[in-house]
């Protein structure tokens, strides 16, 4: 199959060397307008007690007007506009350039940093939450709004995607964040970009984002893809929940799992806590 939107050799080399790749303005104005409508519809349904009510998280800070949404869970199931983007060849062709022709959607979410109250996300590796038999897993982070340092754009630690880092508390529970004693001493790279841009992020690349203290929202649609021979490791009911709805994207699932990459650290985590709750619960007291 000839790809219409493949990554070129330099882009692929950058991703493999650095653990991430930023491609600016993959989506156009019409795409962004449709995503904006979809976000608004899902959020309004949730806030009014509709079908999506159980699929959002709210910011703990009060905006002074109404509750502020900070995350829409499982957007793929919530609106056809999100499903369309998850299968869009402008995204998937580039993912295939990195992971091969057999692809599944591992999960999706929409992170919403509301103006002035958007929460930070601490340093973590995605595969720390859902280890697989190999590291053929990446996330595509699509900026729906212009992302700047002021509104909490994504930041990464380059060239740190060759190993699992400890995400445990001193007691051994999963903290949802990289333990301070093993956090690499590397200068963070901020990734600001215009709306419609996408970051292709290796599942082991440490990343974080600052709080949004600006007067503009910063929303990011995230889809995690995996190679057809990357199978999840069971570590509790959360694995079962994540795998309840297979989402094939392209090609086929392999009959045999491939074992490779860095040895996974299996998280000790309950089945309900979100990233925000885990990170907040493991924060050192002031």
Q: Is residue 276 part of a domain?
A: yes
**Which residue is listed with tokens 């490779």?**
260
* Per-residue pLDDT in tens (0 to 9) along the chain, 286 residues: 799 999 999 999 999 999 999 999 999 999 999 999 999 999 998 888 877 677 888 888 766 666 889 999 999 999 999 999 999 999 999 999 999 999 999 999 999 999 999 999 999 999 999 999 999 999 999 999 999 999 999 999 999 999 999 999 888 889 999 998 899 888 999 999 999 999 999 999 999 999 999 999 999 999 999 999 999 999 888 888 888 877 899 999 999 999 999 999 999 876 666 777 778 767 654 4
Q: Is residue 4 part of a domain?
A: no
Q: Is residue 10 part of a domain?
A: no
Q: How far apart are CA 158 and CA 20, in angstroms?
A: 7
Q: Is residue 11 part of a domain?
A: no
- Whole-angstrom CA distances from 179 to 45, 87, 182, 220, 267 are 37, 35, 6, 25, 13
- The total of other beta-carbon atoms located within 10 Å of residue 88's CB is 16
Alpha helices by DSSP H, listed for the chain, are 9-18, 29-47, 75-78, 80-86, 89-99, 237-242, 275-282
Q: Is residue 12 part of a domain?
A: no
Tokens of 197: 């841009």
Q: How many domains does the chain have?
A: 1
- The total of other beta-carbon atoms located within 10 Å of residue 253's CB is 16
Report the CATH number that the domain containing residue 65 is assigned in CATH: 2.60.120.620
Q: How far apart are CA 125 and CA 247, in angstroms?
A: 22
Structural domain including 48 reads 19-282
Is the overall model pTM greater than 0.85, yes or no?
Answer: yes
Q: Is residue 123 part of a domain?
A: yes
Q: How far apart are CA 14 and CA 197, in angstroms?
A: 17
Output phi, psi for 182, to 5 deg. Answer: -115, 5
- Whole-angstrom CA distances from 36 to 27, 116, 148, 149, 161 are 13, 19, 18, 21, 32
């Amino acid at each position: 199959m000839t790809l219409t939107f493949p990554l070129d050799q330099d882009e692929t080399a950058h991703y493999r060397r650095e653990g991430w790749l930023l491609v600016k303005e993959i989506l156009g104005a019409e795409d962004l307008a449709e995503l904006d409508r979809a976000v608004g519809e899902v959020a309004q349904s949730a806030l009014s007690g509709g079908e999506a009510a159980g699929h959002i998280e709210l910011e703990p800070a009060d905006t002074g007007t109404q509750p502020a949404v900070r995350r829409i869970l499982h957007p793929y199931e919530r609106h056809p506009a999100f499903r369309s983007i998850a299968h869009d060849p402008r995204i998937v062709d580039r993912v295939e350039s990195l992971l091969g022709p057999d692809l599944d959607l591992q999960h999706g979410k929409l992170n919403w940093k509301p103006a002035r109250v958007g929460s930070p996300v601490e340093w973590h590796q995605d595969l720390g939450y859902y280890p697989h038999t190999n590291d053929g897993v990446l996330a595509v982070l699509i900026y729906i709004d212009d992302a700047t340092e002021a509104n909490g754009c994504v930041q990464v630690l380059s060239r740190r995607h060759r190993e699992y880092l400890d995400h445990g508390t001193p007691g051994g529970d999963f903290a949802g964040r990289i333990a301070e004693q093993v956090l690499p001493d590397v200068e963070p790279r901020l990734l600001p970009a215009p709306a419609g841009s996408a970051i292709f992020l290796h599942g082991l690349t440490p990343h974080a984002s600052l709080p949004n203290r600006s007067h503009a929202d910063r929303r990011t649609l995230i889809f995690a893809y995996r190679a057809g021979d990357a199978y999840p490791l069971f570590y509790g009911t959360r694995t079962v929940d994540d795998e309840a709805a297979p989402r094939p994207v392209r090609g086929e699932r392999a009959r045999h799992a491939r074992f490779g990459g860095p040895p996974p650290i299996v998280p000790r985590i309950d089945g309900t806590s979100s990233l925000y709750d885990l990170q907040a619960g493991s924060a050192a007291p002031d």
